[in-house]
Amino acid sequence: MKKFFLLFLFIILSFNFCFGDLEIKGKKIPGSALFISKEGREEEEAKFEFNHKIYNLIFNKNIFQTLVPLPLELKPGKYTLSLIYQDKKTNYLILIAKAPYMTQYLSLPKTQTAKYDYPGVEKEYRLIDKAFAEFSIERFWEGNFIFPCKRNITTSFGLRRFINGEEAGFHRGIDLAADYGEPVYASNSGIVSLKEENFTLHGKTLIINHGQGVSSIYLHLSKIKVKLGQMVKKGEIIAYAGATGVATGPHLHFGMYVQGIAVNPNIFLKLPDGFK
């Protein structure tokens, strides 16, 4: 009986939901995202509310669509996803499972840890958040995303980090092995929404706005090739890897965000049908 229940729970968490003309795809774990589609007409308006935040549905090819991120901080349990459509509010139960992320312990010299608290660090986060807040109804991305370096993952997404024995939050991206000066490619097409050469904590930083609330971020770069506001294509060289900011050596930190919330970049490598 216990084995049957665990199998049933796995099916609920891993497969797609379909509520009438509402379809929800994606794993229901912290750090993932819900890919939602709903039938409708372009002149209509629809939106979702989840975890006290509103997500507007965007009309794409005769169907409403949106992405709802599941923050890393979400605790396992039952959550309500509310559809507000035609002056009606319909609630859907979403069961969030425990995330399979590990814990990482790092030791850094004081010269590095001091960068977490230097006087300008809040400005860095404000500029990054401002770039993530840019929203375009147009979808710039084209098909599945790609990794911006052709190397292995050295540090995975979602790790709960401890630095010098103190908790330092989650690792909100992935680290990719890269030699100093190795090319960094755009993970997909979009507009450069942030280009910063002098960040002390994050190092040389790029953010690309892929449209509809989706952004990618590239940290610790040695050189940036593109300009602010430039349209880039998937696979185009946008920068070169380095070790600027807080970094123990040359590598690329790559992150994906949905409306300012970090999600696992791996889920964009194979997008659901209708979102490519």
> pTM score, two decimals?
0.90
Which is higher by pLDDT, 14 or 56?
56
User: Looking at residues 220-246, what average pLDDT do you find?
Assistant: 98
Q: What DSSP letter does each residue of 179-244 carry, written as one string? A: -TT-EEE-SSSEEEEEEES--SSS-EEEEEEEETTEEEEEEEEEEE-S-TT-EE-TT-EEEEEB--
Tell me what pLDDT residue 16 has: 53
CATH topology of domain 103-268: Glucose Permease (Domain IIA) (2.70.70)
> Where are the chain's structural domains?
2-96, 103-268
Q: Is the pLDDT of residue 234 over 50?
A: yes
pLDDT (tens digit, 9 = 90+) per residue, 62-101? 889 999 999 999 999 999 999 998 888 999 999 999 988 9
The CATH-assigned architecture of domain 2-96 is: Sandwich (2.60)
Tell me what pLDDT residue 112 has: 85
Q: Do domains 2-96 and 103-268 have the same CATH topology?
A: no
Q: Is the pLDDT of residue 3 over 70?
A: no
pLDDT (tens digit, 9 = 90+) per residue, 133-142? 999 999 999 9
User: Looking at residues 161-189, what average pLDDT do you find?
Assistant: 93
